[in-house]
Amino acid sequence: MTGDSAASRKSADTRPRCGAAFRAMLRVLTWLLFVAASLPMSGTASAQQLLEYPETVLSGDLSAELPNPLERCRRLCYERSGCAGFDHASATNTCRMFTSVTSARLSRGSFASTRQAVSGYHAPVNLPPPLLPQPSQSAWLHNGSVMVLHQKPKEDGSSEIEIVYDVPKNQLLKVGIRPGSTLFKGTLADGSLFGNARLTSSRCGIIQYEVQGVFDPLSLVPFFLRGAAPKRGRDCNIESWSTTGENANLRFDPQ
C-alpha cells in the first residue's frame, strides 16, 4: 500500500508539470502561426507580365503620383493588383499610378507599363507571341496503304506536313518501304500543299520529285498531289518524266 501511495503522489505531481509544458508549447505554436500569417506570401502579386510601352505616357484614373526611380515604380505596380498601369518621366523621376487606363500617347523620355494592352495604341514591345496550335495527325488511304499525315503548325501561319506509311501494302515491303517510311514532306500554306514526294526502288533506292495540290485539314475529302514523276532506266539514271500514272497523281482518301 505504501508503494502504491507513493506512485500515486508522484503521478499527481507530474500532471501539473506536463500540463504547464503543453500549454507553453501551445503558446509557442500559436505565436509561430501568427508570425507566418503576418509575413507577405511570395507570389501573391499578379503573375501577369506588365506590358511595356517606351516613350509613352498614359491617361486614365490617377491614383498616386510620387518621386520614384523606374524600377521602384515598376515593382510597386506589379505588387498591387489594383494598379492597372503606370508611367514614369525620367526628367523629373516622377512615377504615376493608374487604377484604370483609357489611352496612351507618345512622349519622349517617358516609359509606361500596363496590365492590359492599351486599346487604339501600338502593340507593346514585349507582347508575348500567340500560342501555336498543337501538332496533329490524321489517317488516310493511298493506293492500298494506310498513311498518317502529320501536321506541325509554324509561327508564320503555315504548317509542316509529312505523310508516312503506317501499314504499307505487301508489294511495297519488297522494295524496302516500312511503317514510318516517308512518302511526302512539304509545306501547307493558304490551302496549297507543296513539297517533295519519294519514289522508292529496291534496285535504285529513293528519288524525290516535286508535287503540289490543294488540301484543307478541316475537310476530310480526298485530295491529290500531282507532279511530273521520274522514270529511271536500268542504270538508275532518269530517262524521262511523266505526268500520268499513279506516281504523278498521288491520291489520298480519308480513312
pLDDT tens, 40-90? Answer: 333 333 345 899 999 999 999 999 999 999 999 999 999 998 999 999 999
Phi-psi region for residue 21, left (φ > 0), alpha (ψ -120 to 50) or beta?
alpha
Element (H, E) at 1: none
What cell numbers appear for 183 in the block? 512518302
What is the C-alpha separation between 122 and 16, in angstroms, rounded?
Answer: 74
Question: What one-character DSSP code corresponds to residue 121?
Answer: S
What is the C-alpha separation between 217 and 26, in angstroms, rounded?
Answer: 66
Question: What one-character DSSP code corresponds to residue 236?
Answer: S
CB 63 within 8 Å of CB 97: yes
pLDDT of residue 35: 34
pLDDT tens, 121-139? Answer: 999 999 877 777 788 999 9
214, amino acid identity: V
What cell numbers appear for 87 in the block? 508611367
Q: Given the C-alpha cell 489594383, which residue does it identify?
A: 82
Domains of the chain: 51-114 (3.50.4.10), 136-254 (2.40.128)
Exposed/middle/buried for 98, CB within 10 Å: 0-12, 13-18, 19+? buried
What is the C-alpha separation between 247 and 232, in angstroms, rounded?
Answer: 13
Find all residues with CB under 8 Å of 217, minimum gap 6, and list them: 136, 138, 151, 159, 188
Would you say residue 21 has pLDDT above 90? no
Report the range of poorest mean pLDDT among 40-44, 94-98, 113-117. 40-44
Q: Given the C-alpha cell 507530474, which residue does it identify?
A: 14
